[in-house]
Amino acid sequence: MTEVNERVLLDEEFRYATVSIEHLEELQRDFDDLYEEGHLSDNKTFLSYIEGKRYAVPDSFPEAKSVVVLAVRTPLALVNFRADGKQYETIVPPQYYSSGRTVEQIMNTIHQKIIGEPGSRLEYANQHLLLKRLAVRSGLGRYGRNNICYVDGMGTLLTLHAFFSDHEFSTDNWVEARMMDECHNCTICMDSCPQGCISEDKFVIDVGRCVTLYNEIGGEFPEFIHPDSHNALMGCMKCQAPCPANQDVLKRTIRLEDVISEETQAILEGNHTEELLGTLGRKLRGFGGLPSPEAFAVLRRNLSVLIS
Ligand code: SF4
Ligand code: SF4
């Protein structure tokens, strides 16, 4: 464990780092350089994800002095869909279901365990900031060759959260962006990616070919996404599941409630009643935005391609 990560250890479930608000300018410069040097994808969906995000003090909170960035342990989940006397086991990566922790609960944790006193103001920053780079520059995480953020003890099985704070912390964690030591003699993720997104010579992956970019949103899959590339109910675990840095944390995988035959059948046929949306929202813990009909349509398409 590095010196920085000893400082960011909070407990089994959370790790955090605090950075001075002054570093946001540098983060934005880093990002602008990547963009201008052509290292970022010009894929429209990708650009829509980053649109409106800027490393800057928000207008709503000019007194902000620090950013608290947290990794919350969130296991991989499995869920069985039953249909025609068979059982289809699918994967739900951490970002796509609700762990049950609310932003308010995380704020309470920050007040009690990080700041140590109530009264200071916190504002949720996830809608303003690109979190992965922030987490890596804060020393909370490191990049894998697959460009995903790894945190000690959690691998990639986590969710990231950031908060602006008007508290001035005595510790300002700030480091150069680093790749995990484990990556230096390893190409497992590169060899496992079904879309050829990861290359040895380029640090930034070819996000425009990545399955994740297409199965999170509605619409038809582009032809260059091979049917065999699909492996999760949303997102993609092909470059994370075989990674040596994830093997311990994968043992914590949880199972969501089975989706019974009648429900699976209705999903595949696209028949959504209010009751079914509610049941799926509960069983799949808000998967991808359930119980909304738009999320149901994405679920139907993704499940169909996995089952077929
Ligand atoms: S599979 Fe190997 S190269 Fe890829 S992120 Fe994991 S350790 Fe690094
Ligand atoms: S998420 Fe899937 S498609 Fe994207 S880089 Fe990783 S293995 Fe490749």
Does the beta carbon of 288 lie inside 6 Å of ligand 1? no
Tens of pLDDT, residues 14-42:
999 999 999 999 999 988 888 888 777 77
Amino acid (1-letter code) at residue 270 = G
Tell me which residue has its CA closest to atom 2 in ligand 2. Answer: 236
Sheet of strand 86-92, all strands in order from the earlier edge strand to the far edge:
86-92, 77-83, 254-255
- Given this model, what pLDDT does residue 4 score? 42
Residue among 208, 139, 143, 204 at smallest CA distance from 1? 139
Mean pLDDT of 224-233: 95
End-to-end alpha carbon distance in the chain: 44
Mutate to test the pocket of ligand 2, among 156, 214, 239 (most ligand atoms within 8 A of CB): 239
Measured distance CA(150)–CA(134) in Å, rounded: 13
**Beta carbons within 10 angstroms of residue 117's beta carbon:** 8
pLDDT higher than threshold 50 for residue 90: yes
- Given this model, what pLDDT does residue 256 score? 97
Ligand positioned closest to the Cα atom of 190: 1
Tell me which residue has its CA closest to atom 4 in ligand 1. Answer: 189
Ligand positioned closest to the Cα atom of 237: 2
- Given this model, what pLDDT does residue 8 score? 52
Does the beta carbon of 74 lie inside 6 Å of ligand 2? no
Amino acid (1-letter code) at residue 234 = M
Tens of pLDDT, residues 49-75:
787 888 999 999 999 999 999 999 999
Residue among 277, 269, 276, 268 at smallest CA distance from 305? 268
283/12: higher pLDDT: 283
Does the beta carbon of 166 lie inside 6 Å of ligand 1? no
Mean pLDDT of 119-137: 94
Pairing state of beta strands 14-20 and 66-73? antiparallel
- Given this model, what pLDDT does residue 94 score? 97
Asked if residues 207 and 197 have their Cβ atoms less than 8 Å apart, the reply is yes
Query: At 9, is the pLDDT very low, low, confident or very high (cuts 50, 70, 90)?
Result: low
Tell me the residue range of the domain where 75 lies.
3-307
Q: Which residues pair with 123 in a beta bridge?
A: 164
Mean pLDDT of 93-105: 94
- Measured between alpha carbons, how far is residue 283 from residues 53, 94, 101 in Å? 32, 15, 16
Does the beta carbon of 189 lie inside 6 Å of ligand 1? yes
Does the beta carbon of 236 lie inside 6 Å of ligand 2? yes
pTM beyond 0.85: the answer is: yes
- Which ligand 1 atom sits closest to the C-alpha of 198? 4
pLDDT higher than threshold 60 for residue 5: no
- Given this model, what pLDDT does residue 37 score? 83
Asked if residues 298 and 218 have their Cβ atoms less than 8 Å apart, the reply is yes
Q: Please count the structural domains in the chain.
A: 1
Sequence-separated contacts (24+) of 54-60 with Cβ below 8 Å: 54/28, 54/128, 55/24, 55/25, 55/27, 55/28, 55/31, 55/129, 55/130, 55/134, 56/24, 56/25, 56/28, 56/128, 57/21, 57/24, 57/164, 58/123, 58/125, 58/128, 58/164, 60/123
Does the beta carbon of 131 lie inside 6 Å of ligand 1? no
Distance 14 CA to ligand 1 centre (A): 23
Q: What angle do CA 205, 222, 39 make, to 5 degrees?
A: 25
- Which ligand 1 atom sits closest to the C-alpha of 190? 4
Does the beta carbon of 183 lie inside 6 Å of ligand 1? yes
Does the beta carbon of 244 lie inside 6 Å of ligand 1? yes
pLDDT higher than threshold 70 for residue 180: yes
- Given this model, what pLDDT does residue 1 score? 36
